[in-house]
Structure formats: C-alpha cells, structure tokens
Amino acid sequence: MGQIKFWIDEANKTLYILHLKTNHVRKVRSPREIKEFVSAYGLTVEDMRGVEYGEDILNYFDKRGRGTFLGRWLRKLKV
C-alpha cells in the first residue's frame, strides 16, 4: 500500500486520486464509484471539502491493475 491524496472537483463531478510515490493520477467520474471510494475512507461526498490524505487501502495503484473496484473493496472488508 502506498500513500495517496484525493479530492473531488465539484465543477466536473470528478474524483482525483494521486499516488504520492509515482505521481500517477486516476480520475473517477462515476457517481456510484465516487461514493463507494469515499465511504471506504469513512467520508461522504458532502464531507469532501479539500484534499484528503490516506493509505491506498483499496489497492487502487496495485501492480495487478485496477480490477473491479467493488470486488476489491468487498474483499478488503472481509479481512
């Protein structure tokens, strides 16, 4: 797991996720996926006011690739 920072651009309704080690950025535009991502960090979309920092608990930047977002998230919850 690596350190990430993430924020929501409300004008474009886009979630940006920056991997701090590699400076690689992922953009998430699906409202369902945005809601699932921020809920994994204990936040809501309405709470997102600025930049948040955290661990990549969903393995978004894992070497295996992105995979299915919901599947990875559910597997993490079972552990």
Each residue's pLDDT tens digit, 18-40: 999 989 999 999 999 999 999 99
Query: By residue range, what is the domain housing residue 49?
Result: 3-78
Tokens of 13: 């309704």
Would the pLDDT of 47 be above 80? yes
Tell me the pLDDT tens digit for each residue of 6-20.
Answer: 999 999 999 999 999
Reported pTM? 0.76
Would the pLDDT of 69 be above 80? no
pLDDT confidence of residue 71 = 66
Give SS3 for 52: strand
Domain count, the chain: 1
- Report the pLDDT averaged over residues 45-58: 90
pLDDT confidence of residue 25 = 93
Contacts 24+ apart (CB under 8 A), 63-72: 66/26, 69/33, 69/36, 69/37, 70/36
Distance CA 4, CA 18 (A): 5
